[in-house]
Amino acid sequence: MLHLFDANVLINASNMYYPLDSVPEFWEWVSHQAINGCIQLPVEILDEVLAGRKKDDPLLDWMTAHKDVLRLKEVVDPSLVNKVVTEGYAPDLTDNELIEVGQD
């Protein structure tokens, strides 16, 4: 079963329950689950977190080292995207609005 994580799951785990330096077993388990395709982050979430990188942030160091296994492997179906845009959203979206919608 695939579990899609939002960044706050890893952030809260690191900050409140399982600091990387205190409970490395948890992070090894997360890595193992990601390698097996059970835990993934949507590419937009992962990229957003990594773009906000701060110096000396152990979680971001860990996420950077594991980004290839954490990233959701998804294939975009252009016909489904077009259907959602044309039928599910306003018909008069600007290019910038379409880009924003595409990040949903």
User: Where do the H-state alpha helices sit in the chain?
Assistant: 7-12, 24-35, 43-51, 58-65, 67-70, 78-83, 95-102
Distance separating alpha carbons of residues 54 and 69, to the nearest angstrom: 22
Q: Quote the pLDDT of residue 49.
A: 86
Q: Quote the pLDDT of residue 79.
A: 86
- Percentage of residues in the chain having pLDDT higher than 90: 54
Per-residue pLDDT for 104 more than 60?
no
Considering only residues 103 and 30, tell me which one the structure prediction assigns the higher pLDDT. Answer: 30
pTM of the model: 0.72
In tens, the pLDDT along 20-56 reads 999 999 999 999 999 999 999 999 889 888 887 778 8
Per-residue pLDDT for 103 more than 70?
no
